[in-house]
Amino acid sequence: MTTFTLPEGATCFNDQTPRSLPNTQDLDQALAILSAASSSFCHLQWRVQRIARGALVGDFPEYALVEGDEIPTFAHIGEFYAFALEARERFGEAVGYLDTFEKNLENLEWARRFAAEVVDDA
């Protein structure tokens, strides 16, 4: 499993102002984590979808459950609903960070221009 490690002493939320931009390795690492998460969710949804198709046996006999298939319980279903809600919340938070990241790209251009003017004025 891919893990992301913040630089020593850094956190997402503190009163310390970051003094450097993410580097290529930071960006690649974040994308690798997203890819790993996407693969994990793909596998989870397939396992649930495969068993859930058993409910469609009236219309699709090829989806019939076979001996050895796990039969879902109310506990499974409840746990899966809770998981889906929490996962959606976490992905929503990540999308919010990505939106903020993207919105600030234009400001980076202005920061670059401002810094160039300060150097030129010196």
Domain ranges of the chain: 23-70, 73-122
- Ranges of beta strands (E only) in the chain are none
Mean pLDDT, residues 75-102 taken together:
96
pLDDT in tens, 22-73: 999 999 999 999 999 999 999 999 999 999 988 888 888 888 888 999 999 9
Residues in the chain: 122
Mean pLDDT, residues 88-106 taken together:
94
Mean pLDDT, residues 87-108 taken together:
94
Cα 89 from Cα 33, distance rounded (Å): 17
Q: What pLDDT sits at residue 8? A: 61
CB environment 52-77: b (16+ within 10 A), e (fewer): eeeeeeeeeeeeeeeeeeeeeeeeee
